[in-house]
């Protein structure tokens, strides 16, 4: 289902039974909380049976309650304010140990990313990067940390990497002035998605450059404008974006690219080690 679930509920409100209307009204008013409730918990909250909640999901056209819940979760990733995120997290974690809950959640996201990644698309992205005339990278706000990490290591491998300045919309397009055919632009964005990153990717596609998205799902606005979409699970931990799985995906991308450029990398790092040693970049170990 690609349509907004809230619109679907509103359009069908007149067809629901009394119990279903109670479910519908709760979701419309508190979708941020409903998205993380089990069918049983949601039923108890509005005083209907668990089976009524399951039938409600089917009434909306979903295969089951988990499918409806997943649709709600996808929608709210890009809608929730930071205050709402904190409220949702408090509801999700309750009295659980925060350290254990967050780390286990991150482990699960890496596992799901590994299961769901398209190996063929990943390989296509690697080949596109290695063969590009210039490599442009853009990531804004929390996604900037992933983009900068990627750019730092790509600069040790290639001599054609351009980090797109995204402080203002004008700076984005100024950085992309010479982008064209034979180049690749890599956009990194996770909920809440950055409009500047989407604009940059659209600009790259219009100029004939190859486009690679590092994002969370096919529902991401980057996916529709990308030749290769590399998906990594992301979720919120309070107001903080969990970027563990995206960083792990970027690590894999760096290793795969480096293996393709093995001879060049050896030469680059031989020179770098000499420079680092000469200018004391790193502290030397004590005897």
Instruction: Give the rounded percent of residues in the chain with a pLDDT score beyond 90.
Output: 53
User: Is the per-residue pLDDT at 97 higher than 60?
Assistant: yes
Q: What's phi and psi for 195, nearest 5 deg? A: -65, -30
Tokens of 187: 């956009």
- Residue 44 CA to residue 97 CA, distance in Å, equals 25
Residue 220: which of 118, 51, 75 has the closest Cα?
A: 75
More confident residue, 246 or 28: 246
Please say if the pLDDT value at position 173 is more than 50: yes
Q: Write out pLDDT tens, residues 62-81.
A: 999 999 988 887 776 655 55
Question: Given a cut of 50, is residue 269 above it in pLDDT?
Answer: yes
CATH architecture, range 110-278:
3-Layer(aba) Sandwich (3.40)
Token pair 């290695």 in the structure block, residue: 130
pLDDT tens profile 44-53: 999 999 999 9
How distant, in Å, are the alpha carbons of 22, 32, 60, 74, 157 from that of 55? Answer: 13, 21, 9, 21, 55
In the three-class reduction of DSSP (H, G, I as helix; E, B as strand; rest coil), residue 236 is classed as strand
Scan for tokens 């909380």, then name that residue.
33
32 or 159: whose pLDDT is higher?
159
Nearest CA to 162 out of 144, 141, 185, 180 is that of 185
- Output 240 or 40, whichever has higher pLDDT: 40
Judge whether residue 9 has pLDDT over 80.
yes
Torsion angles phi and psi, residue 66, rounded to 5: -60, -35
Q: Tell me if 5-77 shares its fold with 110-278.
A: no
Q: How far apart are CA 120 and CA 266, in angstroms?
A: 27
Question: How far apart are alpha carbons 40 and 76 in whole angstroms?
Answer: 21
| Backbone φ and ψ of 176, nearest 5° | -100, 10
- Asked whether the predicted pLDDT for residue 248 surpasses 70, the reply is yes
Which neighbouring-strand residues pair with 188? 139, 214
The span from the CA of 168 to the CA of 152, in Å, is 22
Integer Cα distance of 82 and 141 in angstroms: 14
Contact yes or no for 109/235 (Cβ under 8 A): yes
The dihedral formed by the CA atoms of 4, 187, 212 and 77, expressed in degrees to the nearest 10: -20
CB 198 within 8 A of CB 169: no
Domain 5-77 has CATH 3.90.226.10: no
Least confident window among 52-56, 144-148, 270-274, 282-286: 282-286
* Rounded distance between C-alpha atoms, residue 188 and residue 98, angstroms: 28
Domain extent listing, the chain: 5-77, 110-278
CA distance 194 to 179: 20
């Amino acid at each position: 289902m690609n349509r907004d679930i809230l619109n679907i509920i509103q359009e069908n409100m007149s067809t629901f039974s009394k119990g279903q209307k109670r479910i519908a009204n709760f979701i419309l008013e508190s979708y941020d909380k409903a998205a993380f409730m089990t069918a049983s918990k949601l039923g108890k909250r509005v005083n209907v049976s668990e089976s009524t909640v399951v039938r409600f999901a089917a009434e909306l056209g979903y295969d089951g309650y988990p499918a409806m819940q997943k649709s709600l979760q996808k929608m709210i990733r890009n809608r929730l304010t930071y205050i709402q995120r904190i409220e949702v997290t408090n509801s999700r974690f309750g009295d659980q140990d925060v350290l254990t809950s967050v780390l286990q959640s991150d482990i699960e996201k890496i596992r799901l990313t590994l299961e769901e990644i398209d190996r063929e698309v990943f390989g296509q992205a690697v080949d596109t990067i290695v063969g590009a005339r210039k490599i442009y990278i853009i990531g804004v706000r929390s996604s900037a940390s992933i983009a900068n990490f990627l750019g730092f290591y790509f600069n040790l491998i290639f001599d054609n990497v351009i980090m797109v300045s995204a402080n203002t919309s004008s700076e984005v397009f100024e950085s992309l002035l010479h982008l064209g055919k034979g180049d690749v632009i890599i956009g990194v964005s996770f909920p809440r998605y950055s409009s500047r990153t989407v604009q940059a990717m659209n600009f790259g596609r219009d100029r004939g450059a190859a486009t690679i998205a590092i994002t969370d799902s096919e529902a991401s606005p980057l996916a529709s404008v990308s030749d290769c979409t590399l998906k990594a699970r992301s979720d919120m931990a309070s107001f903080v974006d969990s970027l563990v799985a995206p960083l792990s995906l970027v690590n894999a991308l760096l290793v795969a690219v480096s293996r393709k450029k093995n001879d060049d990398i050896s030469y680059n790092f031989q020179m770098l080690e000499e420079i680092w040693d000469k200018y004391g970049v790193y502290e030397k170990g004590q005897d």
